[in-house]
Structure 1
Amino acid sequence: MSAFLAALRISRRDALRFKGRSALIMVMIGLPILVITGMLTGAATTSLTAQERAGSRMGAADARLITFSSRAQVEQDYSGYSAGQPKSTGSTRPWTTTEINTLLPGRLLRYQESVVSARLPDGFSQADVLEIDLRDPMTAGLRPLLRGRYAAAPGEVAISSKMAGSGVRVGDTLVTRRPDRTAKVVGVVENPNRPGILELAALPEGLLPHQNDGNSSGWLADTAAPVMWSKVQQLNRAGLGVTSRAVLDAHAGDDSRFDGPGHLEDAVLLGVAIVLVVMETVLLAGPAFAVGLRRRRRELAMIAAQGGSARHLRMIVLADGLVLGGAAALLGVVLGIGPGLLVESIAARELDWTHGPAEVPWLPVLGVAVLGLVSGLIAAIVPAVQASRQDTAQVLAGRAAEIRGRARRPVLGIVLLLVGLGATGYAMTRGVVSIAAAFVPFVLGVVALMPWLVQATSRIAARLPLPLRLSVRDAARHRVRTASAAAAVMAATMGAVTLGIGSSSAYTHEEESNISVFPLGTTVIGGATTMDGQTWARLKEAVRVRFPGTEIVAGHEVTDAKGRTMWLTVNATCGAEACQPWVHDRPPIGGADLLAFLQKRRDPQAVAALAAGKAVAFSPDVVRDGMIEVAVDRQDAATRSTIRTIRIPAVLSTGADPRQAGAMIPPQALAKAGFRVVERMLYTASPPQDERRMEADLRGEVDGNLFLYAERGKGEDRAFALMIVLGAALVLVLGGTFAATGLAAADMRPDLNNLSAVGAAPRVRRLVVAAQAAYIAGLGAGVGLLAGSVVGVAVTWPLTRNGAAGSRAFLDGPAVIDVPWLLLATLVLGLPLVAALVAGLFTRTRLVLARRVA
């Protein structure tokens, strides 16, 4: 124990003496810990228990009663958040306060909730509405008041802090649609669990009409005795859902958020992530420990000369890993908690995430800290072994520049590589999770091969110009340092190439299989079929203003004789990939203009068939014996029920886009079947820049039942995903390269000084360091490209063979492989070039004289 304590003291003193190197190692180890700790802290604060949600749902009440459309028995969990009626049968008579008090004696406070369109300074937006008397003590904590006052009369509202941040102020008059009302803003409140929500708080029926039972309405209850589970079950049998504070308190701790992975897939992915994070950290920090060893070799030799054994020397170097790894882990945890809470708080307000009390999941965080400590120890293992084997006499004489050895045959690397290849080939038919598990031995095999690759590539040094020759030979001489740095770059590049090929192939597959009845770039704007003619005219005018100079074509919708909305679905033979339900729902209904819009040309035969009352099909899967079948459903509040199936003659044609499918139906065919057809759909060939904003504005200005949908490709999504991959690779590859190059430059300083002493120009020093960076980054990126391409192609198999990610079944159909050549060229050619330029630019050219022992 005394030797171990002495080793710790020596390591602490050495860490303080070489602050730059120590800080670099701590950053390499501590940065992943900081990021993971921040993510865990943010996730714990964002993930809420039922007890943490209670305040924003029931205030200080003892129970929250939820009504339904009937008085059928309710099924729910203990929290009441999943309350529902499997069979909505029985009496639909609305509840009265007297009936509720008979079942649950106590004071009741009615509430109701809904959504309206509110006019904000930047246009209409959807806003939640909570109607309850927030002045009542029973609502304490429900919506805390930030400024102003609560609503005290009909026509007054308090707004959420998010809405106040959008430019609405206390004293303003707020306009809403559905219902069309104006309300005076009297205060600002905040939802404790959703600070980023757009919300209005008013008195019951102060903004909304009276809502029937089952339409987001109910009561808060203040009872004399706690509402126990037996009482909750009694109320469930009567047809009420219940959230009881006493029941919530009794189940506190039952819904822990960090119980560990619930499935084997989660455990596998977690294990793979841990292995890769530790490996990347070790590969980055290992060269720093190796350079530190060479700087301390005289000190270690002095200890050996005074009786220190090889075990003592190993202990001292391993203590470096323990000290620096422990300090990095501690700082990473401490510094990760604060940013995690800060980012979560900002995201909760800006992105409308759930938000709860600040919480740190200490068990996972401590696990991450231990992971960092272990990473530091593993990174110090190779330097520790080297320290125990150094020649004490040569070091004390100043003649031991490097502990060298013959490059061994890469048997272990080849074995691991073959195992990884075989496992990857098998995993291709098992899913992405299996490929992730096979990824580990494959990466380890390539890492084990890296020292041999460094030695093999160094044989070209003799044919290179002087700066490049010096750099390559120095890299080969310090094989362990170079191999570790190149392996770190390789691992980052390999991951980026795998993700790039996999994501690009997945987007290509999705784009190829994302068929539609509309051509690419079409915007569909529809409204309820019950809107009157004036509303329809306003909609057409509003769309014309928003799409100036763009072709706009009208289509139709269907109602029954009573004006009820009907939902049409074209039945298809589901044997082809094109048979996707959403393609055949709500088919376009119109005349020759709409047909020309969908085909982007005039097809005389299709136009003639349409005029004759025949449908025009764009794919053969909907046509049977020259007919199409259309199911006509009645669209109720929550369900659809087929009331009739009709057959319409059809002809087969093609759309403007090869991916178009489904069919277009002539209005006269539906009118002949006894349905009422009205013009209520608009089609334009120009997608809006902001779909959500335009939809909200149209709903606010024209009708709340409008919808807007734009048929877009996946090009923008693909580019964004690849930019994220490139950004992550940029940070890891350049960060690892610069760290390794800086260590190499420090290690090469005597040789660089010798160059300057014999008359070499400053640019030679820059070229030597730049070449070192280019060699490390180029070797790592080249090997990462080859290895990542293998795994990337393997990943495309389960992702694109007509299945989803993680599918375990061997799926029929060809795999889609799309290689993002620009991304790969940037990784393999661009990043090494950038690394070389930056390293050469920031290289010191000043000559430093040094005294050496003869």
Structure 2
Amino acid sequence: MTSWRLALRLARRDALRSRGRSILVLVMIALPVLAVTAADVVIQTQQVSSVEGLDGRLGAAEAQVTVPAEGRPMAQRFDPNTGTTTVGRKQPAPTVEQLSAALGGDRLVEQRAGSVTLATDKGITYAEATEVDLRDPVASSLFRLTSGRLPEDADEVVVNPAVLESGYTVGDRLDLGRTQPAPAIVGVGDFAAIRTPPAVAGPVGSLGLDAESGSVPGWLVEGDPVSWDTVEQLNAMGALVLSREVIEHLPPDSEIPEEVRWDTGGDNAMIAAIALIAVMALLEVVLLAGPAFAVSARRQARSLALMAATGGTPAQSRRVVLAGGLVLGSVAALLGVALGIGLGRLLVPVAQRWSSSWFGPFEVPWLHLAGIAAFGLASAVLAAVVPAWIASRQDIVAVLAGRRADRPPSVRSPILGVVLLAVGAAMAAFGASAGSGAGEYLIAGSAIVAVLGMILVVPVVVVGVARLAGRLPLSTRYAARDAARHRTRTVPAVAAVAATVAGVVTLAIALSSDEAENEGTYTPTLAMGQAAVTGYDLRPGLWDALERAVAGELPDATVTPLAGVSGDHWVDLSAPGSSAPLLDEMSVGFGSTVLVGDEVPEVVPGISAEDRERAAAVLADGGVVAFTDHPVDGDEVEVSVDDRGRPVRLPATFVGFEDGAYPTLAAVVPPAALDALGVDDSTVTLVVTGVDVSAEQQQDVTEAVAAVTPNAGFYVERGYQAKESTRIVQFVLAALGAVLMLGGTLTATFLALSDARPDLATLSAVGASPRRRRGIAASYALVVGFVGALLGAAVGFIPGIAITYPLTAPAYSDTGPFLDVPWLLVVGLVLGLPLLTAAVVGLCARSRLPMVTRLD
């Protein structure tokens, strides 16, 4: 302990003496701690637990009781939202008096929940609806009034801002439909449980919520706490209960009824990804901070040599360097956690704007943050381990004489690195073939093993680059050879860049391949760019109204009715002499499985131009076009309608859908064949052509169509559209990789330039120009960045390609797995960022240095 106290005192003094380097180390360690802390605070605040969400669901009540329409005895988990089921025969639903008696005479405040349709300027939209007396103290906290007042009778309601965006203002009456009440809006505010969707609330009876509208009767309980025994008693009566007492003081899991007791299991891929990210982040911080401690150990080399010359042991030398990691790591960890909490507090309102649900109360997960702080401290100590070991083995005579040189690279380390790379590749291959489950863990482990192997190979690669630099320009040749001569600071820098690039490439390949699977398995409903109105159970007159609604919003569009066999008829087609169906599976995309016309409509996707011409010729001759997903010989088809007698045999041609297209139609028959089949045709779809429908116009038409009938919808085929969240993740991934790579390269380069100041001063003494010194600085950054990025990209391909197999392997189809390499991102990391870093270093590096004497 005496030795450690001395080492810590020396480390503290050295940190204060070399403030610039100390600040750099603090930043490198504190930044990841700060980022993870802020993210953890925001995530924990965003997650609303059952306890935190009680006030939004119960208000000030002790419990909420609902009675499903079945009236059967129920079994539920502690929170009914997580699992319920019926467990007995149907019985009379309990009355309010019976529920109150079971609750010990507690007061019950009626509450109904459901949804309503709101008329808008363009048509109709839907809103969440609640009927409850918001003036009652039990329910008052369910709604936070921001303007106006609370409703006093069944003719008044309050709404949230989303309803006002639909065209309503305070004082207007809500148009809920012809048979529903039209209450007046008297207040605006926020619902505790609903944030962005349109929502409305009023007294019981104000919104027409009843059993016919799908509303489930419920009551808020004011009185004593409701125990789990009482919950089970109410379950037996046919009621479900959300109890504040039960959620805040959870009974043991053994109390959960067997009918709803299940193991949710774990997400293997998520656990593996978290473990991979944690280990890779630790490696990244260790490797980034390593050069700083290497330079520090270099600065302390003479002091350590004097200590060894006067009787100091290698262990004492190691403690001096390790103490620097302890001192700086402790300060960085505490500073990062403190700043991360503050940053998280500032980011919570920003994140709330992008969320469709309310966040919980601001939460600081101290146990998590203690682990994050320990992570920062451990990374600093681990970063100092290698420099400490090297410092304890330095040549005392050479150091005291002023000579500087690293020991020759070990032969065993690169051999072990190659072995680890081979093991990593084998683990990745085995994990890819193992599928989901253990496969994700093997691939995550392969990434870690491969990166560790790469780190051990880096010294040999750096020496190899120096030996191959003979034909390069002077500045680049000098930088490459200087990097090899001072491997103690070069290797961690190159390895840090490589680890960053490996992680980014792995995640980028996985993400791009997942998107490729989504796009490759996407099945269009209509032909690309086409739009249509489809519906079911529609009277003939409604189609005319729908056509007028579309024309009102898209006056330049051409609306063409598409005829088909009415959905009241069941039509079966088969090849003569075969019992096998023509289509193994299909979806009804046009309101009918059989269309009527003289050609295959352009709106039907997946039909080649050649097949369309052949089909048109057969339809013109009175034949049938039958769609199939397997080869069929013959020129006739048997058609049976509603199993009425013997099937009708008609001339036909068989057409297949193109690869990747999903069957949305069984057949097209000519009008002349309807008499033979004994059916009539009717409008089943409206095809909209002649205009490019924008997203805003699509929303307007959708509301207009819904105003005519809720059984119809409007759809525009735009092909596969990547999710906005996916684009954001891709952007964040590229930005994160760029920032980490730039930060690591710049940090390592400027540390190296600081350490190489005597060499650069010597160059100046022998006549090197300021431009030459800037060129050397930029070349050093280029060597570190390019070699690291190239190694990292190569290693990142191993787990990146492997993870695509369990990630995109087909579970229920014959397509996949999918592999998509984001070459633009890879080339940008390997070529673009090193060149950018070199340019930044060349512009920022000092060109004039003070003269320093050299003894060697």
Query: What TM bracket, shorter-length normalisation?
Result: 0.7 to 0.9
CA positional deviation for 1:310: 2.1
**Post-superposition offset of 1:328:** 1.8
Residue pair 1:568, 1:585 contacting (<8 A) in 2 also: no
After superposition, give the CA deviation of every residue in 1:122-177 in whole Å (9 maximum; x if it has no partner): 99764322221100112142223344321223443323366679997655666666
Aligned residue in 2 for 1:595: 601
1:830 deviates by 1.5
CA distance in 1, matches of 2:179, 2:498: 60
Retained in 1: the 8 A contact 2:762–2:851? no
Residue 615 of structure 1, CA deviation: 5.5
1:755-804: per-residue Cα shift (whole Å, max 9, x none)? Answer: 33333332222211111111111111222232223333323333344249
Partner of 1:55: 55
Contact between 1:517 and 1:661, CA under 8 Å: does it hold in 2? no
- Pick the aligned partner of 2:488 from 480, 483, 488: 480
| Correspondence 1:421-432 to 2 at 5 A | 421-431=425-435
Contact 1:557 1:681 (8 Å CA) reproduced:
no
Distance 1:406 1:39, change over 3 A: closer
1:219 alignment partner in structure 2: 218
Contact 1:162 1:349 in 2 (8 A): no
Which of 378, 383, 390 lines up with 1:379 in the alignment?
383
Establish whether residue 343 from structure 1 lines up as the match of residue 343 from structure 2: no
Amino acid at match of 1:405: P
Taking structure 1 as the reference length, the TM-score comes to 0.84
Distance in structure 2 (CA, Å) of the matches to 1:302 and 1:508: 62
Q: Deviations over 1:249-285 (max 9, x none)?
A: 4317989xxx999466555444333221111111111
- Residues 768-783 of structure 1: pairs in structure 2 closer than 5 A: 768-783=776-791
| Contact preservation (8 Å) 1:699, 1:705 | no
Report deviation, 1:383: 0.9
Task: Determine the structure 2 residue equivalent to 1:69.
Answer: 69
1:81 paired to 2:81: yes
2:684 to 672, 679, 689: 679
Letter in 2 for 1:620: H
Q: Which residue number in structure 1 is paired with residue 259 of structure 2?
A: none
Residue of 595, 606, 610 corresponding to 2:615? 606
Q: Provide TM-score, normalisation by structure 2.
A: 0.84
Equivalence for 1:203: 203
Whole-angstrom distance in 1 between the partners of 2:201 and 2:648: 51
State the partner residue of 1:438: 446
Structure 1 residues 209 and 798 mapped into 2: Cα distance closer, same or farther (>3 Å)?
same
- Identify which of 415, 420, 429 aligns with 1:416: 420
CA, structure 1 residues 437+391, in 2 after alignment: closer, same or farther (shift >3 Å)?
A: closer
C-alpha distance in structure 2 between counterparts of 1:460 and 1:423, whole Å: 33
Residue pairs, 1:801-816, within 5 angstroms: 801-803=809-811, 815-816=817-818
Query: 1:617 — aligned with what?
Result: 627
Q: Percent same amino acid at aligned positions?
A: 34
Q: List per-residue Cα deviations over 1:295-331 (Å, max 9, x = no partner).
A: 2333434444554332222111111111222222212
> Where do residues 537-686 of structure 1 align in structure 2 (5 Å cutoff)?
537-544=544-551, 552-555=559-562, 590=595, 591-592=597-598, 595-598=601-604, 599=607, 603-607=612-616, 614=624, 616-617=626-627, 619-620=629-630, 651-654=653-656, 659-666=661-668, 677-682=682-687, 686=692
- Counterpart contact for 2:599–2:616, Cα < 8 Å: no
Asked whether the equivalents of residues 518 and 660 of structure 1 are also in contact (C-alpha less than 8 Å), the reply is no
Contact 1:30 1:331 in 2 (8 A): yes
SS at match of 1:144: strand
Q: Which amino acid aligns with 1:20?
A: G
> Take 1:680 and 1:322, find their aligned partners in 2: how far apart are those partners?
73
C-alpha displacement of 1:420: 1.2
Tell me which amino acid in the other structure corresponds to 2:824. Answer: L
Shift of 1:506: 3.5
Q: Aligned equivalents of 1:13 and 1:631: distance in 2?
A: 94
Given that residues 72 and 237 in structure 2 are in contact (C-alpha distance below 8 angstroms), is that contact kept between their aligned partners in structure 1? yes
Residues 223-232 or 617-626, more deviating: 617-626
Post-superposition CA distance 1:547-569 (Å, at most 9, x none):
565565444688777xxxx9999
Q: Which residue of 1 aligns with 2:473?
A: 465
Shift of 1:824: 2.6
Q: Give the deviation of 1:286 after TM superposition.
A: 0.6
* The one of 328, 351, 357 aligned to 2:361: 357
Q: How far did residue 452 of structure 1 move?
A: 0.8
**Alignment partner, residue 637 of structure 1:** none
Quote the Cα distance in structure 2 between the aligned partners of 1:584 and 1:121. 29
Range with greater deviation from structure 2 (658-667 or 71-80): 658-667
Cα distance change on mapping 1:825 and 1:86 into 2, 3 Å: same
Segment of structure 1 superposing worse, 718-727 or 54-63: 718-727
Contact 2:510-2:800 within 8 A present in 1 as well? yes
Q: Distance in 1 between matches of 2:39 and 2:509?
A: 27
Contact 1:61 1:220 (8 Å CA) reproduced: no
Tell which deviates more after alignment, 666-675 or 609-618: 666-675
Q: Which runs of 5+ in 2 are unaligned?
A: 255-262
* Cα drift, residue 587 of structure 1: 5.7
- Specify the SS of the correspondent of 1:596: coil
Aligned ranges 1:684-703 → 2 under 5 Å: 686=692, 688-689=694-695, 693-694=699-700, 697-698=703-704, 702-703=708-709
Query: Quick one: which amino acid aligns to residue 743 of structure 2?
Result: G
* Per-residue deviation, 1:744: 1.6
Cα 1:615–1:476 change in 2 (3 A) is same
* Aligned amino acid, residue 379 of structure 2: S
Specify whether residues 505 and 813 from structure 1 end up closer, same or farther in structure 2 by C-alpha distance, changes over 3 A only.
same
What amino acid is the match of 2:404? A
Matched position secondary structure for 2:602: helix
- Alpha-carbon distance change, 7 to 648 in structure 1, aligned in 2, over 3 angstroms: farther
Q: State which drifts further: 265-274 or 279-288.
A: 265-274
Distance 1:693 1:503, change over 3 A: same
Name the structure 2 match of 1:12.
Answer: 12
Structure 1 621/479 Cα, relative in aligned 2: closer, same or farther at 3 Å? Answer: farther
**3-state DSSP of counterpart to 2:351:** helix
Question: Mean alpha-carbon deviation: is it higher for 763-772 or for 385-394?
Answer: 385-394
- Structure 1 pair 703–320 and aligned structure 2 pair: CA distance change class (3 A): farther
Question: What is the CA distance between 1:335 and its match in structure 2?
Answer: 2.2
Change (3 A) 1:849 1:48: same
What is the RMSD computed on CA atoms of the aligned residues? 4.4
CA distance in 2: counterparts of 1:630 and 1:297, whole angstroms: 94
The separation in 2 between residues aligned to 1:618 and 1:53, in whole angstroms, is 53
Question: How big is the shift at 1:588?
Answer: 5.9
Instruction: Determine if the alignment matches structure 1 residue 156 to structure 2 residue 165.
Output: no
Report the Cα distance in structure 2 between the residues aligned to 1:146 and 1:697, rounded to whole angstroms: 29
Matching residue's letter, 1:771:
S
Aligned to 1:790: 798
Aligned match of 2:520 = 512
Structure 1 residue 831: deviation in Å?
1.7
**Inter-partner Cα distance in structure 2 for 1:387 and 1:230:** 68
- Tell me which amino acid in the other structure corresponds to 2:601: L
Q: 1:45 to 1:818 in 2, by over 3 A?
A: closer
The aligned residue for residue 640 of structure 1 is none
* Conservation of the 8 A alpha-carbon contact between 1:348 and 1:355: yes
Note if 1:405 corresponds to 2:413: no
Q: Structure 2 counterpart of 1:110, which letter?
A: E
The answer to whether the 8 A contact 2:398-2:404 is kept is: no
Output the CA distance in 1 between the equivalents of 2:367 and 2:648.
63
Letter in 2 for 1:596: E
Q: Residue deviations 1:478-532, cap 9 Å, x none?
A: 1132221111222222233333333333333443333345333444443453477
**Post-superposition offset of 1:26:** 2.2
CA contact (8 A) 1:195 1:348 kept: no
1:296-375 matches, cutoff 5 A: 296-305=300-309, 307-375=311-379
Q: Kindly tell me: are residues 149 and 581 of structure 1, through their superposed partners in 2, closer, same or farther at Cα, counting changes over 3 Å?
A: farther
Residues 209-263 of structure 1 deviation map (CA, whole Å, 9 limit, x = unaligned):
24117823323243554433333233323322222233334317989xxx99946
Distance in 1 (CA, whole Å) between partners of 2:96 and 2:736 is 59
2:289–2:380 contact (8 Å) kept in structure 1: yes
Q: What is the one-letter code of the residue matched to 1:831?
A: L
Match of 2:498 in 1: 490
687-696 or 507-516, larger mean C-alpha shift = 687-696
SS at match of 1:141: helix
Bigger Cα displacement from structure 2, 718-727 vs 435-444: 718-727
